[in-house]
A and B are shown apart, each in its own frame.
Chain A
Amino acid sequence: MDAPIDIKQPPLIRVEKLSRLYGDTVAVNQVSFDLNKGEVLGFLGPNGAGKSTSMQMITGSLAPTAGQITINGFDLIDDPIKAKSCIGYLPENPPVYRELTVDEYLTYCARLHRLSRTELTPALQEAKEHCGLEEVGHRLIGNLSKGFQQRVGIAQAIIHQPPVVILDEPTVGLDPIQIREIRSLIKSLGQNRSVILSTHILPEVQATCDRVQIIRRGELIYNASIDELNQRGKGNHLTVAFTQPPNQQTLEDVDGVKTVTSIDPQRYQIQFEADDFAMFLVEISVQNQWGLFELIPDNTSLEEIFVELTTAETPADVEENAA
């Protein structure tokens, strides 16, 4: 199900065969992808997979060893200033000056992005409002908690209203309430601009992204829309509970059931293969009067996909292990 290709509207970011070496270590290897307008792209991978390196290259903080990056039609190497002005970037560590106040810092960032004097005040207000920083405008950044520093970092990335916002692990170090706020902020950003979000937290991707890319050891190994991923993740595990539970053998004999695990005397976890299995199970349970009172689709298998994809051994690894 490929989306129709619109020739008139080129992708906001096009990355082609991007590679990066650190000495002999390959950090990123031949990564190519596009980011379209209004899309929230999740960049998923275990620690050290090359997420941050890719982000740094896309934002111009790091020069690629090979490959091409085009942002909004501007080549990052030929036309770096125009390309970079289309981007807002929050690196892994928020790049804040501890000795400045929040207002001073954001003003400086806005000036760096060439906002004029008249644009500055409304932009500052809006960025602070977006990130919940109205109360702390006059406080020194060094005295703020990690969560607030992170928000200042995000405010910095959006103050000049760039068409693309790149956030590198934006929710690290935040409390659950702040994480929720940041996620809703990212969602709202996604309405009128494109976002690339790197993370190793799976629910974060499910909660905020339209599309997912999984990177492992510098290579892009999975690229799909979030719906596809959900589809793949959902549906093959169910937790069920009965008032008159049948024995395990009976359940295992039901059509489409793969395995049955007993959780407690009333509950089972069922792995199945067939489509519409849940409906089928309800019917059977009514016929046999098992008294089904709980039916929960398990999404843990999404995590399993991630684990499976990111830890699968390549032939090279096997050889290595053998040797």
Chain B
Amino acid sequence: MILTIARKEIKSMFLSPLAWVILAVIQAILGYMFLAQIENFFILQPQLIQLENTPGVTDIIVAPIFSLAAIILLMIMPLVTMRILAEEKKNKTINLLFSAPISISQLVLGKFLGLLFFIIILTSLLMLMPLSLLLGTALDLGKLFSIYIAMLLLLGSFAAIGMYLSSLTDNQTIAAVSTFGALLMLWIIDWVSDSLGQGQGVVSYLSLLKHHQTLLEGVFKSTDIAYYLLIMILFIGLTIRQLDSDRLQH
């Protein structure tokens, strides 16, 4: 049942040009960055050779690209998630799902899984760029895998937050803007932490991208993984609650 909804979701996404445009734009921007980064590497190479314990290709080319990808996707994910529930509410197709013999949890999980499919497609396409380097050089595949997982977790939490905000309104633009605001807030929240002194630990812990950074460096800390999983579970739970109370209030 969850799969049925997820399949429909991914189909609807790719039936509109939005998904294609998003994939193309991201691919183009990061492709350009990728080439620039390779160019950089050639300039740096003579100096690197003289160093002991030099960072490898994966550190110099791949990690910065995905660092940038995270920021670009922070701006783009709201566009992917905005329609997920707001559109159903606007077109009243949500009634079809409410009157079907499925529970609200199944409905929300199906929707989230649909978004997750899209994220996997997106991330896998991005991964092809660094993998193409395998033709010419050796890569740290373990690190690459860590980056892949990091992207999935980060984008998964973006999607969960976006889905919740989409469930609050029947206006897609409002859903997109508020998602963007929320994600941006969670990104910059640790910028002030230096001047905070006491509460520093907590505030910087909330930052979405801080946890991302350690994973990009190839450090697989269970606290980071737990952080993302908790964000996802929290917002999926909130979405279920919201849809349930929609039936009460209207």
Binding site for B on A (CB under 8 A): 22, 56, 59-63, 80-82, 84-85, 87, 89, 91-93, 95-100, 104, 108-109, 111-114, 156
Identify which of A81, A91, A109, A114 contacts B95 (C-beta below 8 A): A91
Contact check, B1 vs A61: say whether CB atoms are below 8 A apart: no
Contact check, B16 vs A60: say whether CB atoms are below 8 A apart: no
Which residue in chain A gives the minimum CB-CB distance to B8? A108
Contact check, A61 vs B247: say whether CB atoms are below 8 A apart: yes
| Interface of chain A: mostly helix, strand, loop or mixed | loop
The smallest beta-carbon distance between A146 and chain B, in angstroms, is 14
14 extra interchain contacts, Cβ-Cβ under 8 A, other than A61-B247, A97-B91, A108-B8?
A: A59-B98, A61-B94, A61-B99, A80-B101, A82-B101, A84-B100, A84-B101, A89-B95, A99-B15, A100-B11, A104-B11, A109-B96, A114-B1, A156-B96
Contact check, A112 vs B247: say whether CB atoms are below 8 A apart: no
Contact check, B250 vs A22: say whether CB atoms are below 8 A apart: yes
Contact check, B12 vs A112: say whether CB atoms are below 8 A apart: no
Chain A residues with Cβ under 8 A from B94's Cβ?
61, 95
Q: How many Å lie between the Cα of A100 and that of B12 in the bound state? A: 8
B92 in the interface, Cβ–Cβ < 8 Å?
Answer: yes
| Interface of chain B: mostly helix, strand, loop or mixed | helix
Chain B residues with Cβ under 8 A from A89's Cβ?
95, 99
Q: How many Å lie between the Cα of A109 and that of B100 in the bound state? A: 8
Contact check, B100 vs A112: say whether CB atoms are below 8 A apart: yes
Q: How many Å lie between the Cα of A98 and that of B87 in the bound state? A: 11
Q: How many Å lie between the Cα of A104 and that of B96 in the bound state? A: 15
Contact check, A61 vs B93: say whether CB atoms are below 8 A apart: no
Q: How many A-B residue pairs have CB under 8 A?
A: 73
Q: How many Å lie between the Cα of A131 and that of B247 in the bound state? A: 30
Instruction: Tell me which residues from 12 to 36 in chain B have a Cβ below 8 Å from any Cβ of chain A.
Output: 12, 15-16
Which residue in chain B gives the minimum CB-CB distance to A140? B15
Q: 18 A–B contact pairs at CB < 8 A? A: A59-B95, A59-B98, A61-B95, A61-B99, A84-B100, A92-B92, A95-B93, A96-B93, A98-B91, A99-B16, A100-B11, A100-B15, A108-B4, A109-B100, A112-B100, A112-B102, A113-B100, A114-B101
The smallest beta-carbon distance between B75 and chain A, in angstroms, is 25
Contact check, A62 vs B250: say whether CB atoms are below 8 A apart: yes
Q: How many Å lie between the Cα of A113 and that of B101 in the bound state? A: 6
The smallest beta-carbon distance between A82 and chain B, in angstroms, is 7
Identify which of A62, A87, A97 contacts B93 (C-beta below 8 A): A97
Instruction: Tell me which residues from 40 to 92 in chain B have a Cβ below 8 Å from any Cβ of chain A.
Output: 91-92
Contact check, A56 vs B95: say whether CB atoms are below 8 A apart: yes
Contact check, A85 vs B101: say whether CB atoms are below 8 A apart: yes
Binding site for A on B (CB under 8 A): 1, 4-5, 8, 11-12, 15-16, 91-103, 247-248, 250
Chain B residues with Cβ under 8 A from A85's Cβ?
101
Chain A residues with Cβ under 8 A from B95's Cβ?
56, 59, 61, 89, 91, 95
Q: How many Å lie between the Cα of A61 and that of B99 in the bound state? A: 6
Q: How many Å lie between the Cα of A189 and that of B201 in the bound state? A: 66
Chain A residues with Cβ under 8 A from B247's Cβ?
60-63
Contact check, A81 vs B103: say whether CB atoms are below 8 A apart: yes
Contact check, A80 vs B4: say whether CB atoms are below 8 A apart: no
The smallest beta-carbon distance between B102 and chain A, in angstroms, is 6
Chain A residues with Cβ under 8 A from B8's Cβ?
108
Once A62-B247, A95-B92 are accepted as A-B contacts, the answer to whether A87 and B12 lie under 8 Å apart by CB is no
- Ordered nearest first, which 4 A-B pairs have the shortest CB separation? A85-B101, A95-B96, A61-B98, A59-B99
Indicate the member of A95, A98, A113 with the most B CB atoms within 10 Å.
A95
